[in-house]
Amino acid sequence: MLLCLLGLFLSKKHIDQVYRNLQVAQTEVSQTAYSKVSQNLAVKSGQGKTERGNYLATIYVKAKTGQKLSRNDFYLYQGLKEGTTMIDSLKINGQATSRLRSGVNKVQVKALKNGNEQYLYLLVNPKKGKYVKYHFNLQK
């Protein structure tokens, strides 16, 4: 029993040390103004809807240079019961691609709808131990 307690204590101490500088900030992304994600990217909300068991959302990404945007950076939170869902597909300017072009890009994301709530997020890791969740306020 004492060994078990000692093991738990050391495990907790290790976890506390590993995550001591972890920061997660949240930024609300509006439909009226772009929110800066990085030196080269800014995002703006568009529309979200459910259709035939899928969640569909349109957002706008302003890029200073052509670069990649991964669907793995997005996730759909669907409430406590359902948790999060990965994005099934990503279309940029009507094409099934992950390549942004310089300027404003119309990005469409699609995910399987499971829960009653849908909140679209973009998760960015600007530096070690720091994460920023961009929450899109999508018009329905």
pLDDT tens digits, residue range 41-83?
999 999 988 888 888 999 999 999 998 988 888 888 877 777 7
More confident residue, 102 or 50: 102
Residue 100 pLDDT class (50, 70, 90 cuts): very high
- Structure confidence at residue 140 (pLDDT): 61
Q: Using CA atoms in the order 104, 134, 24, 101, what is the torsion angle rounded to 10 degrees?
A: -20
In percent, the amount of the chain with pLDDT more than 70 equals 86
Instruction: Please give the CATH architecture assigned to the domain spanning 23-136.
Output: Sandwich (2.60)
pLDDT of 20:
67
The residue ranges of every structural domain in the chain are: 23-136
End-to-end, the C-alpha distance of the chain in Å comes to: 56
Taking the C-alpha atoms of residue 122 and residue 127, their distance in angstroms, rounded to an integer, is 15
CB burial of residue 86 (10 Å; 0-12, 13-18, 19+) = exposed
